[in-house]
Amino acid sequence: MKIQFRQIEQFVKSPDKKARVILVYGPDGGLVSERAAVIGKTVVKDLNDPFNVADLSVEALTEDPARLSDEANAISMMGGDRLIMIKGGGDKLTVLVKSYLENPSTFSLVVIQAGELGPRSSLRKACEAAKNAAALPCYVEDERDVSRFIRDTLQTAKLRVDLDAVGWLAANISGDRRKVRSELEKLITYKGDEQSSVSLIDAQAACGAAGAQGFDDLVYNVGGRNARAALKAYATLMAEGTAFVAILRSLQNHFRRLHMTKAYMQDGMDMDGAMKKLSPPVFFKQAPMFKAQVNSWSLPVLNQVLGRLGELEAQCKQTGMPVETLCSQAILAISKIRAG
What confidence score (pLDDT) does residue 167 get? 84
Beta bridge partners of 161: 198
Find the mean pLDDT for residues 267-292: 88
Q: Do 73 and 108 meet the contact criterion of CB atoms below 8 Å apart?
A: yes
E strand segments, the chain: 21-25, 53-57, 82-89, 108-114, 133-137
* Domain ranges within the chain, ordered by starting residue: 5-137, 143-210, 215-335
pLDDT digits (tens, 9 = 90+) for 174-226: 667 888 888 898 888 778 777 778 988 888 777 765 555 578 889 999 999 99
pLDDT digits (tens, 9 = 90+) for 70-104: 999 998 877 789 999 999 999 999 999 999 999 99
Q: Which CATH number fits domain 143-210: 3.40.190.10, 3.90.110.10, 1.10.8.60, 3.30.2130.30?
A: 1.10.8.60
Whether 279 has a pLDDT exceeding 90, the answer reads: no
Longest dimension (CA), the chain: 70
CA–CA dist 171, 334 (Å, integer): 21
Counting Cβ atoms within 10 Å, is residue 321 exposed (0-12), middle (13-18) or buried (19+)?
A: exposed
Torsion from C-alpha of 86, 135, 37, 26, nearest 10 degrees: 90
Fold (CATH) for 215-335: Zinc Finger, Delta Prime; domain 3 (1.20.272)
CA–CA dist 177, 246 (Å, integer): 11
Model-level pTM?
A: 0.59
Q: Does domain 5-137 have CATH number 3.40.50.300?
A: yes
For residue 291, how many C-alpha atoms fall within 13 Å in the half-sphere facing its CB? 13
Sheet of 82-89, strand order: 53-57, 82-89, 108-114, 21-25, 133-137
The DSSP H or E segment spanning 149 is: helix 143-156
> In this predicted structure, which of 12-21, 140-149, 290-299 has the lowest mean pLDDT?
140-149
Q: Do 17 and 9 meet the contact criterion of CB atoms below 8 Å apart?
A: no
